[in-house]
Structure 1
Amino acid sequence: MKNVLTAGAALLLSTSIASAGGVERSAPSVALLFEEGNYLELNFGFIAPEVSGTQAIPAGPGSPVGADSGDISEDYSQLSFGYKNDLTDQLALALIIDQPIGADVNYSEDTNYAYGGGVSGLGSTATIDSVGLTALLSYEAAENITVYGGVRAIQTSGEVALFNTYSMSTSTETDYGYVVGAAWERPEIAARVALTYHSEVTHDFTATEASLSPAVPPTDTEFSTTIPQSVTLEGQTGVAADTLLFGSIRWVDWSEFDISPTIFGSGAGNPSLVDYEDDSVTYNLGLGRRFNDDWSGAVTAGYEAANGGFAGNLGPTDGNTSLGVAVTRTIDAVRITGGVRYIWIGDADTEAPLAFTGGTPGVTLGEFEDNTAWAAGLRIAYNF
C-alpha cells in the first residue's frame, strides 16, 4: 500500500501552487514520519500558471478600459528534500527542506498598455523567495498512537517595483516557529489519520523603499510580516485489496498575513501592499491503486472555495479546482513517482487605488477570468 500512497503524495506536493491560498507554495506533510525504516526523498516540481485580466476603468493616458494585462504569472520550479531516521523502535527523527512561500508576478512583459494601474509603461513586478527547514521528532506513545513535534525555520526575502515608480526590497530574515501533531493508525487496513499544527512565523524586515509619489529617495525602513499558522488533517484508508483512498483538509490563517512597508503605506489612500481578508480551506482527495509489485497509480482532485471580494493586484486569483494523475515505479528499495495536474484558477477582481477614483473605495480596476495552470512533479524515494 505504501507505493500507492507515494503516487498521491508526490502529486499533491508537486502542485502546491493550486493547493493553497495566499502565497503558499509548499503545504508541508508529515507522511514521511510513517515510512518503514529509514527513508530519503527528493522532490522536483514545475508549475506553469497563466493569469491575465482586463482593465475595467481608465487609469491615465495609455491605460484605457479594456487594456490587457498579458500573462502576469511567471513559470517557476520547486525543490524539496525529506529524510527520516528511526532512532529507536518508538522514536524517529525527520528533516524537511522546502520552499514554503513565494511569488513571481510580472506585469511588464506582455502588457498591451500600462496595465496594473499604471500611468507609465513600466508595469509592476514582485518576487518573494523563501527556504524552510523543519526538524521533527515522533514518538509512538501507545499502540496505534503517535505524537510528534519540532521546530520550523523559514528564511524569506522579497522585492517589488510598482507602476507608480515605487520600489522596495527587503533584508533576508530567518525566524522560527514550531510544529505539533498526533496520528492514529490501524495498519491492517492501511488506515491513518494525522492532525498537524504549524505555528505562525513572524519576520521583522529592514527594507529599502523609494517613491516618486510621494517623492522619497531610497530610505531604510522597518516592518513586520507574519507567515500564518495552519492546521492540516491528513487521512488514508484501504477500501479494497491494493486500493487506497487518501486526502487532506488544510486551513491557513491568511487573514493575518499583511505586507505594509512604511513609505508605501504613507501614500494617499494606499492599502497594504499585499493582504488577504479571508482564510483559506483547501481540500484534496485521491484514489490509489497498486497494479502489481512494480507499478501503481493514483488520481486526485483538489478544491479551494473562492472568498469573493477584491484580490490584490499582485495576486489576482480566488480559489481553484484541479484534477491530476500520477504513477509510481518501484525498483527494489527505490520508488520513482511522476505526476501532472491541471488547475482551473478562480476568477478575481482587483480594486482601483483611490488616486484613480477620486477617493471612492470599492471600484474594480481589473477583471481576471478563465485562468488556468498546469503542474508536473517528480519524486525519487529510497527506503534503507
Structure 2
Amino acid sequence: MATISFKTLALSACALAVAAPAFAGGLERGGYNIDLLFDPSDYVLEGTATFVMPQRDVYGTVDNPVKSGGSLPAAWRTTADDSENYWSPRIGAKAAIGDMADCMFDYSEPWGAHLKPGQWQGASYNMETDVKSQNYATTCRVKFDFGKGDLSIIGGGFYQEISGIKHRQVLSPTLLGPAYPSLLSGVGILDMEGNGWGWRAGLAYEIPEIAFRASLVYNSAVDHDLSGTVDLTGVPAIPGTPLATIGGRVIPVYGQVSMPDTVELKMQTGIAPGWLAFGSVKWTDWSQIQVVPFCAVGTPVCRPNFAINTLDLFYQDGWTVSGGVGHKFNDQWSGAVSLTWDRGTSTVIGTQTDSWVLGSQVVYSPNKNVELKLAGALGILTSGSSGWGATCDTGKTCGDEATYKFGNDLVAAISTGIKVKF
C-alpha cells in the first residue's frame, strides 16, 4: 500500500472533520456548519441526512393542581417519554471564484424540538411541543497568502424561519365533568411562527501541506417577532376566573424570541502520514432564552405576568467540546472516530443535562468526483431532575407545572451523505 502523505490527506480533511452528529442542548438540532466552504475542489454539491433517536424517559411526576384548576385524573401516567426521534437534513453547494475566493449556499434546520408525552401527570406543563426551523445561508471567504499558508476572511448572512405548537392541559378533566371529552377537552393549543435575519463573520488559517486548518466563526443572534393564536375553544369561560374572557375563543397572540448567537473554534492537523487529528469548542448563548411569553394582540408590553401562555425554558449557556482522529486508508476509504461532550442547558426545569457521545464515520470515494459517507453515534444523557418554583419577570412564578426525575438514558444517531465535486 502506498504511503498517504500529509498533502494527500489535506484533500480529504473536510470529509473527516465531522465524525458523527451530536445531541446538543437547548433547541439545537443541526446547528450551523460551514465546513463545505473549505473543500479544495472548485465546485461541490453536498447533501446529508441525520436521524437522531434520543431515549429520554421521566418518572415520579407530580402535577401542580393550581395550574390545571384541579388534580388531573389518577389514571393518567406518572411516567412519560420526553423525547421524539427526528431528522436533521442539510444541503449545500460551493463554488470557487477565481483563485482567491469561495462562496457557498446551504439549507439546514438548525433549531427544533419535539416532545409528545400526551396524557400524563405533567400534562398542565406539556402534552406536546413541536418546534421547527428552516435556515437559508450564503457564506463567502477571501483568501490571502500569509506565511506558509492561506489566511481567509469569512462573512455571510442567513434568513431563518421558525414555527411551533404547544398543547397543554389548561383545565383538569375532573372539573369538566360529563362534558369531557366529548364537548370539552380542557386543552389549550399555542400555534406560532416567526422569521428573522442573521449574519456571520470569522477568520481561518490553512497550511495544506500538513492538513492544518484553524477557524473561528461567530454567528449572530436572530431576532424573531412571533405571531400566532392560542386556541381555547376546548376550555369553558368560567366567571370569576382568568378564563372568563378568554375561554371558548381563538385568540390572536404575539411574542418575541432571539435565537442564540454562537462562537465556534475548530482545528485540525496532520499528525502522521495518513492521519489527522481534529477538535472544536463551541459556545451557544442559550441563557438569553428564559421565558417566552405570548400575549393577546393589543397588549402594550408582552411580559410573563400579562401573557396568555408562556414557553418556560430557563436555559443556561451551552458548551460543546469535541475531539477525534481520522485516517485515510487508501484512495477509496477513510474513516474517523470522535468523542463529544455537551454541557446541559437545563437549570431549574427541563431534561437537558450533560451528554457524552461517541461517533464514527466511514467515507468511500469510488472516484475523485464522488464521496459517500456513513456515520453513527451512541451517547449517554446523564440523569437529573426538574422541579417547581422558578421566578420570572415581575414576580410571576413560572415553570411550576410539574416536577419529575430521570435517569441516565441513551441517544443514538445515524447519518448518511453524498458529495459530488468537480
TM-score range, shorter chain: 0.7 to 0.9
1:29 equivalent to 2:33? Answer yes
How many Å apart are 1:115 and its aligned residue?
2.7
**2:352 match:** 317
The CA distance in 2 between the partners of 1:265 and 1:65, in whole Å, is: 32
- Paired residue type of 2:50: G
Residues 361 and 343 (structure 1), Cα distance of their counterparts in 2 relative to 1, 3 Å cut: closer
Give the letter aligned to residue 127 of structure 2: S
Pick aligned residue for 1:303 from 321, 341, 344: 341
TM-score (norm 1): 0.87
Aligned to 2:153: 147
Q: How far did residue 186 of structure 1 move?
A: 1.4
> Structure 1 residues 93 and 306 mapped into 2: Cα distance closer, same or farther (>3 Å)?
closer
Deviation at 1:31, TM superposition (A): 1.6
Corresponding residue number in structure 2 for 1:339: 375
Gaps of 5+ in 2: 1-8, 65-70, 171-186, 236-240, 297-301, 391-396
Which residue in 2 is equivalent to 1:243? 275
1:57 aligns with 2:78: no
- C-alpha separation in 2, matches of 1:379 and 1:182: 27
1:328-349 CA distance string (max 9 Å, x none): 1011110101010012113232
- Which deviates the most, 361-370 or 267-276? 267-276
Q: When the two structures are aligned, how many residues end up with a matched partner?
A: 364
* Residues 347/5 of structure 1: CA separation in 2 closer, same or farther (3 Å cut): farther
Match of 2:139 among 133, 136, 140: 136
Structure 1 portions without partners, runs of 5+: none
Residue-by-residue CA offset, 1:205-257 (whole Å, 9 max, x unaligned): 11201444832221111110111100011110001110000121110000112
Stretch deviating more after TM superposition (60-69 or 157-166): 60-69
Match of 1:162 in 2: 168
Name the stretch that deviates more: 192-201 or 75-84: 75-84
Distance 2:112 2:315 in 1: 19
| Contact persistence 2:72–2:121 (CA under 8 A) | no
> Does the aligned pair in 1 maintain the 2:293–2:307 contact within 8 Å?
no
RMSD over aligned CA atoms reads 2.7
Cα distance change on mapping 1:193 and 1:63 into 2, 3 Å: farther
Alignment CA distance shift 1:129-1:231 (3 Å): same
Question: Following TM superposition, by how much is the alpha carbon of 1:167 offset from its aligned partner in structure 2, in angstroms?
Answer: 1.7
Deviation at 1:291, TM superposition (A): 0.8
Tell me what 2:83 maps to: 73
Equivalent position of 2:327 in the other structure:
289
Q: Which residue of 1 aligns with 2:177?
A: none
Match 2:127 to one of 115, 124, 133: 124
The equivalent of 1:218 in structure 2 is 250
Offset, 1:155: 1.0
2:317 to 264, 279, 289: 279
> Are 1:259 and 2:292 counterparts?
yes
Structure 1 residues 339, 310: CA separation in 2 closer, same or farther (over 3 Å shift)?
same
1:373 aligns with 2:411: yes
**Matches of 1:274 and 1:142, distance apart in 2:** 49
Tell me whether 1:183 sits opposite 2:183 in the alignment: no
Q: 1:208 aligns with which of 202, 212, 229?
A: 229
Q: Find the structure with the greater CA-based Rg.
A: 2
Change in Cα spacing, 1:137 to 1:266, as seen in structure 2 (3 Å) is closer
The match for 1:352 among 385, 388, 391 is 388
Closer/same/farther in 2, CA of residues 141 and 225 from structure 1, 3 Å limit: same
Equivalents in 2 of 1:206, 1:305: separation in Å?
Answer: 31
Stretches (4+) displaced over 4 A: 63-66, 263-272, 359-364
Alpha carbons of 1:100 and 1:5: their partners in 2 closer, same or farther (altered >3 Å)? same
